[in-house]
Every structure is written in structure tokens, then in C-alpha cells.
Chains A and B, each alone.
Chain A
Amino acid sequence: MRHSRLSLLALVTAATLSGCASAAKPSSTPTPARDTTRAAPGLGGVSTPNADPFPSTYVRFPSAPLVIRNVNIFTATGPLIRNGAIAVADGKIIAVGQTVETPAGARVIDGNGKYVTPGIIDTHSHIGAGGAPGTQANSDVNEATNPVTANVWVEHSVWPQDPQIPRDLAGGVTTFQVLPGSANLIGGRSVVLKVVPSRTVQGMKFPGAKYGLKMACGENPKRVYAQRGPSTRMGNVAGYRAAWIQAEQYRRRWDKWNADHKGDPPARDLGLETLAEVLRGNMLVHNHCYRADEMAQMIDISKEFGYKIRAFHHGVEAYKIADILAKEGIGGSLWADWGAFKMEALDGVKANIALVDRAGARVAVHSDDPSGSQRLNQEAAKAMAAGNLAGIPVTEEQAVKWLTINPAWQLGIDDKTGSLEPGKNADLILWNADPFSVYAKPEKVWIDGALLYDRLDPRQQWRTDFELGFVPAGASR
């Protein structure tokens, strides 16, 4: 089923409206997934675990069932299926294999010689918060006014009309995490978004995804706060620990009040509320950290206060402590070949991803860059080649995981997306060639079974409001 541009826009409207109209169901199990319980009106002063004041209104776009057959399929769980088939209905994958049954009314695509992979997941993006064109007016990534800003939520910085969003989709990215910047020791809440056209940020929010907390080690915070402090790495560590000490006290006070409702509730504090959610295990910690020695210290801090680090981001020295990361169950969101641009990045090596993968830690290729995010398949290809060159054999099946199921795990959504298995969201890419070739491009991209990008059909290439008039039409992506 193909939508014209007009009908696509109409669908956005319909999706948003139906999302608003649907009633939230209260949940009796607040953890582990963020539930949809909403505080009753007037309870804004109450610090409730898993409160969801800006709930997702995303509803999948309507779509007919789909079969792609005669296509090479990287499932991200098993070996490459050559000349296989995949079937999708109601937004979910219903079958993957050598052959599949075609559901009634399905659009059937012959994928002769082409490849299918799960949609790419970028764990580290600032798209939307640092919109294009880059201006001070659109610079909303770093709340660089205090070294600890656990109180900010990056979704309040995201501009859904950022022209970088549809370009990410054209690069095969179907889900991304927007993080606050790394100026601060604790930068605030992240948000996990689907790469879909929407008038509102809420309309992009991945239903059921947990929030993340951005933390940052090393040079950036001590450079930004050189005058007022922290101005040293020891100052950085003192800053994290002071924040967690306060958070632990806050968590105790509120957990007690939430249990007995005795007396007035304690005063609510947005920053401590976020940190308390981390301590309760309701949020995932994403820690920007370059150096091996600093990562090891951050692990100790997490143990001191009883939280888990889900993934180190950038981690150019992760290969030096790959065994420790594997043992601690911490993922790595890493670059293929960035390094050497600052002192803490000096020891970047191209075999980093392969070495960390070999040690058994869950590794993702991340971008931190709106341009690189569009070509994460190429970044993975570079990292795979570097591993092979260094004598660490990496298969394409393995490298696909760096783009899909591993980042899904880092974001806590691996039960919903990141691999091609029955029951999972039908987030997938049809590539015109082997995705690890420099010549490969996503030809079609589906999110929850709906075709949202088609390189061969200009009417299926979403243009943001900003682009109308400003950016010449007809320039394909």
C-alpha cells in the first residue's frame, strides 16, 4: 500500500487524535516497564514512581499486511536466511523463514537479490534537540547552567520538524534515543523516539520505553565548569556522589510516604525524583565516558549507591576493560573510528567494537552525529573490517546485532523491536544491496508495518515543515 504525501499527512493527524482519545489503562505493576498510570489531576506535587506526565500518543500508521519474498534476511538472531521470506500483519512480524504464508490482502514485494534487516536503532542522538539549521535559537542540547541538571527532560527540547529526522529514517533508523549533552555530570532524562512524522514529541515517543539518565565523565564537565567547579576529575566524582547521596535520602523519604501516606508529602524535587527513579531501577543509566580508568570508577560509584549502568557511551577505551564490562553486564555504545580529537579520545582504535563484542559485552554502533546516524550500516562495516584485520573474526550476522538487537537491549526495548521474530514490531529495512557494502542504501523502511520511506517514490519521502520552501524540492535522500 502506498500513501501519497497528502494521505500520509492525514494519517499523522488521525494517529495523533486517536492517541489522545484513547484512555490510559492503570497498571498494577509499576516495574520494570514504565507503566501508563497517570497521577490524578491536582497531584502534581506528589512524587510518584513511574509517573508519566507526558505520555506517548503514538499510534502506528495504518497499513496492509506485507510479504517480502525471495530476499536475503538478517534476522539479528540467527544465520542469514538466503532467498527467504518475511510476513507482516497488524504492525507485527508474523513469520520469517525460507517461505511464509501470505496473509489475505497482503502487498507482496519480490526482493530479488536484496536484503532485509531490522530497523536500525541509534542509542546516541541529539537530533531534534540540536536542530538543523544549527542556530543558537535551536541549540537545546546542553542545559549548561549547573553541573547537575537531573531535573531536565530532553523531550522538552525536541523539535519534531527537525529536517534531520526524515534523513535518519532514509538511512534506515527506525528508533533513536535523544540524550541531553555531555556538558554536565548529570545531564537529565533521555527519551526514546520512533522516527515518524508527528506534530508533537508525544506522538513520537516509543510506547513502553523506559527513560534513560545521561551522565558524563571526564573532560567536558570539568571544562564547562572550570570557573565554578568541578574543574578536575576528582571534582567530577565528588559531584556525582553528592548528587546520589541526596537522591538516596529523597528516595527513602518518598518511598516511606508512598507506602503509608502519613502526614504531608515531602517537598517534590524534579532532579532528585529522576535520580530516585534510577535508584529504584525504573530508569537506565547511559554514561558518556571515554577512558578505561574512569569507566572503572563509575562502576564503583554505581555499586556504592546501588544502581546499574546500562551502557557506556563513546567508550573509546572500552577495549582495555572489555572483560570488566562483560562481567558487569554493561553495554557499550561505541564509534567505529572516531578518536584522537581530544586527550581522553587519544587511544581510540578501530578494533574497539570487535574487541568488546568478543569479550561478551553487548555492543552497539552509535552515532552522536546526525550525519553518521544516517550511515550506521557503513560504520558497522568499518568496525567489522577492522576486527577482521586485527585477527578478530566478525561475521555479518554479528555486525547486524550491533545495529539492532544490542542497541534495543541498551534501551530496554529488545522485547519489542531489534530483531525479526514473530510477535515483534515490524520495524524493517529493505536494502538495495548487502547492507555492509558502501553502495547499499535503504530502499524502503517500515515502522510497525507501515511503509514510511520509499527511495523510489518521492511521494513517500517525508519533508518537515521547515523544509517546505527553504530546501529545494526534488532532492532525493
Chain B
Amino acid sequence: MTRTISWAFAVVGLSAALLGTAGLADAQTIAITGGKVYPVSSAPIENATVLIRDGKIVAVGANVSVPADARRIDASGKWVTPGFINSSTQLGLVEVGQIQQTHEDVARGKDFIAAAFTVWDGLNSQSVMLAPARKEGVTSVVVIPQGNLLVSGQAAMLDLVDGMPSDMVIRAPVAMVSQVQSPTSAGASARGELLLRLRELIEDTRAYMRNRAAFERHETRDFIASRLDLQAMIPVVEGRLPLLIGADKATDIDAALKLARDNGLKIMIGGGAEGWMVANRLAAARVPVLTGAMNNIPGSFTTLGQIQENAGLLRRAGVPVLLIGNSGSGDEETFNVRNLKQEGGNAVAYGMSWEDALRSVTLTPAEVFGVADRIGSLQPGREANVVVWTGDPFEFSTKVEHVFVRGRESVQPTRQDLLTERYKTLPPSPANPIR
């Protein structure tokens, strides 16, 4: 009995050590040589070298001298791109979709407002869902609070780096999350009432800013939101923090654009199924759209005009497009954050240029979320989030050969790798049934 327990402890200790240190190989000087390099911020370079030191990119080009102590990775015939950024996920916030106790993505809020909710505070950096995404080339994600409240909370940009939540956060907040298409989940019963409550929240935030001292003395009228929620809304009404507004229907997008115009807000549109119908208005207002490329079903009365060409048409009109994964359906989405590349390929199949599709999963999200000085392109000074592919990243037959996050290579097998290995030979060996 004692023996069994100590054995179990030893295994737990070993696993912890593996998880803690072996997940990503140590940072060092690395030279990825000979590949076709897509910096995204500039034209592709044939037969180029990407030099990484201490987690940062230090040189990119055809004539980069490689230090003698560098680990060399021969990428001849391979494609080298920045790590992909999935701009709409619940990675690390939802472990098992249908198990409520593994959800950290929805705040209760107060009166359907949860502006002060900082979703990344509940992040599980040990989530087994991170590795499958990283293994297929996704190195950064935006985590977005759910719930479809009037204001659901604040989003953050993360690197899928091994460590604790505080290690992963690149920038937080990167957006405040709201919506204009689901009145009932926002404490209203009609769109007009939902918009009224949003305007009231903006007005009350301004009143709070002007009368903070009076508010503390209980000398103001009642406000629609709590003190912390009003505080959290200040950068939004000042136009410093973007308001990410969920809107699919063309008329809802129009309402969001008007709300932004009337109140001097900086906004982006999430979903944007019928965005193509108002593409010129979005472009004129320079409003980015987060949308998928695999949705064409009139699945609800807010998405009747949803077409697969949407992302390409928006881009052609000049709208900054951020491709997001699994925006169509499915409660498997945390597991399939990795399918961002499939969205990229489908965007191309339905009219977006290949270069724009690559940009929409790398540099454009970095720019839109204000982290282009850190990630999204291969340039000196950027984090070394780099992927080496055997070919076109969007093609299914392409393999991911190396993934670096902040200069460290991900080598940890996924849970799926371990399961596949265990059952590759059937029946499992009786000599070693618990490999």
C-alpha cells in the first residue's frame, strides 16, 4: 500500500516536472535557414534566414550571417511564417464545453453589464487544449468573454507560451465586448431598447467621469452600472479601448456604426455575417471585422444573407478582416482553434487573395489589437513566434515542422499524441497494459 502511494507520488512529481519545463525547449540562438520566408510586413524572401536570439527575432533576410553557436534549422523547401493569431477563442477558459465547472468565460455581471470582468484572470494555462492549437501553428489567441450580455467584459491577447497566465498575456485589455443583436440576453426585449441601454451606459460613464467625487459621496443620481463597470467603460467612451460589437445582420452593423459615430467610439465588428452588404460603409469608417470563411447557411434571422464570399468581399472593399475559426457552429470549438488555417484556405477559395488571407491571421489582428510591435510579422525586435511549414500553410497536406513561441520550440506531445501512441497497436500489449 505504502509502495503504491509513493510510486503514484513519484509519477505525479515527474509529470509536473515535465509539464513545467519540458513543454517548450529553452530559448537560445536559433537560425532557420534556406526557407521561403513570409515576413507579412514586407514581400516574401526566397532562401532566407530568420535569426532568433533570447526569444526575439534579430534578423530576417537573404544575407544574414549565422553565429557559430546557433542551433541551425534547415528550412530548405519549407515555408516560414509568423505564428497564426486566432482572434476569437475561449482557449484556456473552457476546458470541456459541456462541463459547466470548466467554464471561466461568462460573467454574471450586474444588470447585464460586466464591463469590469477581466476574463484572463480565470485563465488556465495548464489547459490541455493549448497544445493542439500550438502544434498546428497557432501561437497567439484573443480570449473573449461570452454571455451576450449588454457588455460581457474585456478581451486579452495571449501568447501560447508555456507558463502561468501572467506569462501568457501580451496585452490586456485589447477590447471591450458588447453586442447589438440579442436583446433578451442583454436585459432588453427589442433592439431599440438594447441600443438605448448602451447609450445610457455611455452617458452614465461620462457623468461618472465628471462627478467621481460626488459619486463617492452618494451625491449623484443612480447610474445604470456599478462603480467598477463605469470605471472600466472610461477608456471605451474616450475612444482608447475598442468596443468589439457582435453584429451579423447588415442593419445591426449599421446601428453599431451609428453608435460609434454618435459617441466617438472606436469599434470592431464580431461575426459580421452580412458585412458584405455594408462593406463600403465599414471601409469608410475604417472598422475591422472578425469573421469566418466557412459560413453560408441562413441559420437564423440575423444571418439570412450570410455567404462564404463575405471575408473576400469585405477585404476587397478595403475593410481590415480578421479571420476567426469556427464562427459557424459547434461546441467543439476550443479543441479546434487549430482550424484557423482551414478558414484561411476557404477564404482564398471564395475570393480573398492568398496574401490577404495570410495577413488576416497574422499582422492584421496584431495591428487591430495594438500588438503589432510584438507579434504578427517577422521583423527584428518582434517576439519569435515563428512556424516552419512543409508547404502552403492553408493546405491540409502541409505539415507543421517547427513552432516557436517567444523563441522556444514547442515539443510537448499533445494528449491526443499520447492516446494515439497507446492504441496504435491493438490489442494493447498485455505485457505493458498501462504504458
Bound Cα distance from A385 to B345, whole angstroms: 15
Known: A338-B332, A338-B335. A471 touches B423 (CB 8 A): no
Q: Is B89 an interface residue (CB 8 A)?
A: no
Residues of B within 8 A of A390 (CB): 420, 424
Q: Count B interface residues, CB 8 Å.
A: 47
- B residues near A476, Cβ cutoff 8 Å: 307, 309
Q: Which of B391-405 contact A (CB under 8 A)?
A: 394-397, 399
Residues of chain A contacted by B97 (CB below 8 angstroms): 340-342
A319:B423 contact, CB within 8 angstroms: yes
Question: A382's closest neighbor in chain B, by CB?
Answer: B396
Q: Are A477 and B96 in contact (CB under 8 A)?
A: no
Q: Please indicate the chain A residues that have their CB under 8 angstroms from the CB of B433 in the complex.
A: none
A437 interfacial by beta-carbon distance below 8 Å: yes
Per-residue interface assignment for chain B, residues 330 to 371, with 1 indicating a CB less than 8 Å from any chain A CB and 0 otherwise: 111011101100100110110000000000000000000000
CB–CB B397/A381 < 8 A: yes
Instruction: Verify if B300 is at the interface (C-beta below 8 Å from A).
Output: yes
Q: CB < 8 Å: which of A132, A341, A389, A391 contacts B96?
A: A341
Per the bound structure, the CA–CA distance linking A339 and B295 in Å amounts to: 21
Q: Which of A320, A339, A341, A343 has its CB near the most chain B CB atoms (within 10 A)?
A: A341
Q: Is A81 interfacial (CB-CB < 8 Å)?
A: no
- Once bound together, how far apart are the Cα atoms of A285 and B51, in whole Å? 58
Task: Tell me whether A378 and B277 are in contact (CB under 8 A).
Answer: no
The answer, among B298, B329, B394, for a CB contact under 8 Å with A133, is B298
Task: Decide: A371 near B295, CB < 8 A? Known: A341-B332, A436-B397, A438-B396.
Answer: yes
From B303, which residue of chain A is reached at the shortest CB distance?
Answer: A133
A contact residues around B298 at 8 Å (CB): 132-133, 163, 466-467, 470-471
> Complex: how many Å from CA A438 to CA B352?
13
Pair A371/B329 contact, Cβ less than 8 Å: yes
Interface residues of B: mostly helix, strand, loop or mixed?
loop
| Docked CA distance A456–B334 (Å) | 36
A323 CA / B399 CA spacing, docked (Å): 28
Given contacts A132-B298, A341-B331, A472-B305, contact A378 B348 (CB under 8 A): no
Q: Which residues of A contact B430 (CB under 8 A)?
A: none
A331 within 8 A of B: no
Residues of A close to B338: CB separation below 8 A: 337
Asked whether B423 lies within 8 Å of A369 as measured between CB atoms, the reply is no
Q: Contacts A385-B397, A439-B348, A476-B309 given; indicate if A132 touches B427 (C-beta within 8 A).
A: no
With a cutoff of 8 Å between Cβ atoms, the chain B residues found around residue A439 in the complex are 345, 348-349, 394
Within 8 A of A (CB), among B307-339: 307-309, 328-332, 334-336, 338-339
B354 CB to closest chain A CB (Å) equals 9
Q: Judge whether A438 and B346 touch: CB under 8 Å.
A: yes
Q: Does residue B416 face the partner (Cβ distance < 8 Å to A)?
A: yes
Closest chain B CB from A187 CB (angstroms): 19
Nearest CB on B from A43, distance (A): 42
Q: Are A436 and B396 in touch, CB under 8 angstroms?
A: yes
B422 shortest CB reach to chain A, Å: 9
Note all chain B residues with C-beta closer than 8 A to A451.
Answer: none
B330 touches A369 (CB 8 A): yes
How far apart are the CA atoms of A261 and B296 in the complex, in Å?
55
Can you name 12 A-B residue pairings with CB atoms under 8 Å? A132-B298, A133-B304, A319-B420, A339-B332, A340-B335, A341-B334, A348-B416, A369-B330, A374-B296, A382-B342, A438-B346, A475-B309
Interface residues in chain B, defined as those with a beta carbon under 8 Å from any beta carbon in chain A: 96-99, 129, 277, 294-301, 303-305, 307-309, 328-332, 334-336, 338-339, 342, 345-346, 348-349, 394-397, 399, 416, 419-420, 423-424, 426-427
